[in-house]
Structure 1
Amino acid sequence: MPKIIVTEEQWVQQGIERFAQGGVEELVIEKMAVSLGCSKSSFYWYFSSRAIFIQQIIEKWRERTTQQIIADSNVHATADERIIVVLSRMFGTTGRGDFLFYLRKLSLKDDAYRSILNEVEQLRMEFMQQLLVQRGFQSEQAYQKSWMLYHYYLGWYERHKQETLSDEGVQRHVEVIYKEWIFS
């Protein structure tokens, strides 16, 4: 039988998916190895411990869900275009598990994860605040709108996280938020 070589990225991706489905309890190395079609010893080739693995999957999640969205939006010329991109990405991420819920749960037990969670959420709100300031809002008003928008998103996501929404449905929702709430 040929030897199956699994990359670090495949392990991390598997970890992100499993964490989103059940938190750290889903990060059973033996089960992940079976799913990836490799031996569990390949895990230790890349990660010296399960704790290091958890840190890496959370860092990769942060990169993909916050830093990458910010970078993607920055290629657009106007603040309006960037706001639409951010809103579309925010409200288009349903049906993929609940990574944020399990990170929040983990953060209650470990200050390091609480710090990461706080940094991610603060960065998200500050970025939207910057976009709203560029759009013409005063800083305090922009902060209030970004804070409310983020907390609305958390509730909305909780309600819709198990659904797969159509692109058209997401765009209609983004339009309503953009036209009727942000700029009302």
Structure 2
Amino acid sequence: MFRIPKVIVTEDQWLAKGMEKFAESGIDGMVIEKMAAELGCSKSSFYWYFKNRYEFIARFVERWAQIATQQVILESSVLEKTEEQITELLVQMFSVTGKGDFLFYLRNLAKQYLSFQSTLEMIERKRMQYACELFTKAGMPPQEAEQKSFLLYHYYLGWYERHKYEQIHQEEIYRHIEMLKTQLLGVRGGER
């Protein structure tokens, strides 16, 4: 007798699919049957890991926050010099385009659910706080570092909105980063 092999889909695969679909079309993309079909499993697999759609969304938002914030902080903080850390932070920020609009849809979700509003505020506060810490380490007075981290983050939001569906070439990203370092830190060509 011929048996169809059982497809086992992991929790991580479900979370990755959720992040992908959410970035493409927000809450409207959270159709369990469609995601299950794309993963090659039945929708009962979903309920093995998650009680409901709300829990699923909360879990992949948490995962996204780890990847999009904690990972960036970790990757830049391992570098030795403060200027290298700032450069890496900027590279991480401005290299992420062409991957949908997760943050836009998270903002929309936060308008409906207070818990997502808290998550969004925490993510954004952590991002600005890290930039502020780096600017302070680079010798900027704390109040100025706080103001510039606020300006940088809000500039990033506008820049991302404009370029979110494009693939930006590396040389363009680095030209952009050099301009930002000059404007924010007074750094030109690797000097302070």
Of the three residues 123, 128, 141, the one matched with 1:120 is 123
RMSD: 0.9
Of the three residues 12, 16, 19, the one matched with 1:16 is 19
Cα distance, 1:181 vs structure 2: 3.5
Unaligned runs of 5+ in 2: 188-192
Of the three residues 25, 36, 44, the one matched with 2:39 is 36
Q: Give secondary structure in 2 for the equivalent of 1:3.
A: coil
Of the three residues 97, 104, 109, the one matched with 1:106 is 109
Aligned twin of 2:78: 75
Aligned twin of 1:60: 63
Question: C-alpha distance in 2, partners of 1:17/1:182?
Answer: 35
Unaligned runs of 5+ in 1: none
Aligned twin of 2:29: 26
Aligned twin of 2:161: 158
Cα distance, 1:178 vs structure 2: 1.0
Aligned twin of 2:190: none
Aligned twin of 2:174: 171
Larger Rg: 2
Question: C-alpha distance in 2, partners of 1:40/1:121?
Answer: 34
Question: C-alpha distance in 1, partners of 2:182/2:43?
Answer: 51
CA distances 1:155-182 after superposition (whole Å, capped 9, x unpaired): 0000000001112221111111112343
Question: C-alpha distance in 1, partners of 2:152/2:131?
Answer: 9
**In percent, how many aligned pairs have the same letter?**
47
Q: Give secondary structure in 2 for the equivalent of 1:130.
A: helix
Aligned twin of 2:9: 6
